[in-house]
Structure 1
Amino acid sequence: MTPLANNGPVAVIGAGAIGLSLASALARTGRPITVCGGRTPIDHIEIAEDGLPETWLVQHVTDPAELAEHTTAIVAVKAHHTPEVADWLRALARPEVTVLVAQNGVEHRERVLPHVGPAQIVPSVVYLNVERTEPGHAILRRVGALDVAVPDGAAGAALSAELNVGGMRTATEADFTTVAWTKLLSNITANPLTALTGRRAEVMRDPEIERIARRIMGEAVEVGRADGAALTDEHVDRAIHWLQHVPEGSTTSMREDRLAGRPLEYDALTGAVVRAAERHGIDVPANRFVLALLSAIEPEVSA
């Protein structure tokens, strides 16, 4: 594949399933990939899709100072781990840097802005279902017609074009607020309900689980509207249908973290709904109940 004009290295902060998948798309365009920190040094990444693996060599660095020449970064750590990578983010606090924030929730900018300052922040909504199997390796499953959505604007459009060349189906969105809240409807149901039950995504086809999911989503629709999202009850129906038709064997990151005894990413999901509800004076008892259950789960090992 012919490299694009922008062929500088890409810093990946958070080489988990999503970070690896996005990095692989940029690697296909000829961009060198730099994996930042992490417990296990890796010299290559491998993404398997439809049983066919692809492999790319990467550089692994341990010092944020080594990002001085990087002008593109992918931030894909779990939202609650953002403070732990603050040194890496501060190394990217330059106006010429584009930072793709591939995290869950609706508070992307607020979360990284204190660290990256003048850098160009590009929030994203990622629809991929990816499972990390070992350090540097992941299984990629695509769900629906779109893989990634970013806000429109110069930085988002440029990054979207690169990802598309690399085989990642990416679109720019004028109303990114609605897009982010729409994805949040799925995240505040599938993630907690799979984590709490221990079952994979097929649990969403259980009639009682569906009923609970609809109540959780209904509260969030009201909160999202107050926060500027153009949500309707139809968004709930579409989210339920999408969750009930994901590929067989699909899981969620929260379920995998629960099974591994790691801290759970509930604050950026259900916590965000509850915070927005408090700002707007809206009662969300179902979401508060889920938040209480998730916050009561104690991790068994350090993250």
Structure 2
Amino acid sequence: MKPSANEPPVALIGAGAIGLSLASALARAGRSITVCGGREPVDRIEVTEDGTPETWPVRHVTDPAGIAGHTTAIVAVKAHHTAAVSEWLRALARPGSTVLVAQNGVEQRERVLPHVRPAHIVPSVVYLNVERTAPGRARLRRVGALDIALPDDAAGAALAAELEAGGMRTSTEADLKTVAWTKLLTNITANPLTALTGRRADVMRDPGIERVARRLMTEAVLAGRAEGAALTEAHIDRAVDWLQHVPEGSTTSMREDRLAGRALEYDALTGAVVRAAERHGIDVPANRSILALLAAIEPEAGA
């Protein structure tokens, strides 16, 4: 499916690595893109894959009034920055708007709902491994056979079709909760363990780190099951295998944020596991320890 030429532009709220990748797919499918806010003006976006860059012109606006009339948005800021973009989100808070939430974790809908109600929220599970290399630029690596999973409803199917037209490998899922918790198993291990060690994803192949990862995942499986996710021990084995076979040189957003002195996105990941466990009276000591370690890392002033 290719959108018609008169279809409204897509608002990109969060022009980081994931946001740029998804926006580039919609641009390739024929949509125009409006980049919302940010510290530096951007008049084009560039995504490099397998050494080949592609660029697309974009419109950059600094006032939420600039997205009046937009009916589709990608929200790709880090989870802990959601409140900071609330004015942009409120500009989309009307019936008929569709908001794709491309954030980590299992609390996407709850996180953005207070800001965008009554817009239609489309949570997602993103598998892309991407690095932002400069404002408006990113380096994309594909991991596995799927790039993004979306809910199996009308809005999810429509977005999946557009993203597919733009080169993304998509799926629509009747049980997105289980898919999201499955992805969380990798997020609560690779992100914190690369951030705490300073190493890239190859650290997941170390036997000692693998043991820590399996302990974290085992606790998360218990919490996820209590929340209604259909998780089994096999999910742990698959997650570990996936992490140990990501492309050479892969990194995580949390590692990159720590190296840059920025605030870390641990609350939406490890924090979500701990909150779910507390709701059901489940003990998750390994995740609590990781949460305490991450919370002790203070971002640099102004980063």
TM-score interval for Structure 1 and Structure 2 normalised by the shorter chain: over 0.9
Moved over 3 A (4+): none
Q: Per-residue displacement from partner, 1:254-291 (whole Å, max 9, x unpaired)?
A: 00000000000000000000000000000000000000
Contact 2:2 2:162 in 1 (8 A): no
Q: Per-residue displacement from partner, 1:184-228 (whole Å, max 9, x unpaired)?
A: 000000000000000000000000000000000000000000000
For 1:220, the equivalent position in structure 2 comes to: 220
Does the residue aligned with 2:266 lie in a helix, a strand or coil?
coil
Q: CA deviation at 1:7?
A: 2.9
Q: Per-residue displacement from partner, 1:137-157 (whole Å, max 9, x unpaired)?
A: 000000000000011101101
For 1:52, the equivalent position in structure 2 comes to: 52
Structure 2 counterparts to residues 97-246 of structure 1, below 5 A:
97-246=97-246
* Residue 86 (structure 2) pairs with residue 86 (structure 1): yes
Of 2-11 and 189-198, the range deviating more from structure 2: 2-11
Q: What is the count of residue pairs matched by the alignment?
A: 302
Of 61-70 and 16-25, the range deviating more from structure 2: 61-70
Contact 1:263 1:302 in 2 (8 A): no
Tell me which amino acid in the other structure corresponds to 2:230: A
What is the distance in 1 between the residues matched to 2:123 and 2:191?
20
For 2:20, the equivalent position in structure 1 comes to: 20
Identity fraction in percent: 80
What TM-score does the superposition give when structure 2 sets the normalisation length?
0.98
Tell me which amino acid in the other structure corresponds to 1:4: P
Tell me which amino acid in the other structure corresponds to 2:54: E
What is the distance in 2 between the residues matched to 1:98 and 1:204?
37
Does the residue aligned with 1:248 lie in a helix, a strand or coil?
coil
For 1:265, the equivalent position in structure 2 comes to: 265
For 2:34, the equivalent position in structure 1 comes to: 34
Contact 1:7 1:30 in 2 (8 A): no
Q: CA deviation at 1:94?
A: 1.0
Structure 2 counterparts to residues 271-282 of structure 1, below 5 A:
271-282=271-282
Q: CA deviation at 1:93?
A: 0.3
| Aligned-CA RMSD value | 0.9
What is the distance in 2 between the residues matched to 1:30 and 1:166?
8
What TM-score does the superposition give when structure 1 sets the normalisation length?
0.98
Unaligned runs of 5+ in 2: none
Contact 1:74 1:101 in 2 (8 A): yes
What is the distance in 2 between the residues matched to 1:301 and 1:204?
30
* Residue 258 (structure 2) pairs with residue 291 (structure 1): no
Unaligned runs of 5+ in 1: none
Contact 1:227 1:276 in 2 (8 A): yes
Does the residue aligned with 1:20 lie in a helix, a strand or coil?
helix
Does the residue aligned with 2:217 lie in a helix, a strand or coil?
helix
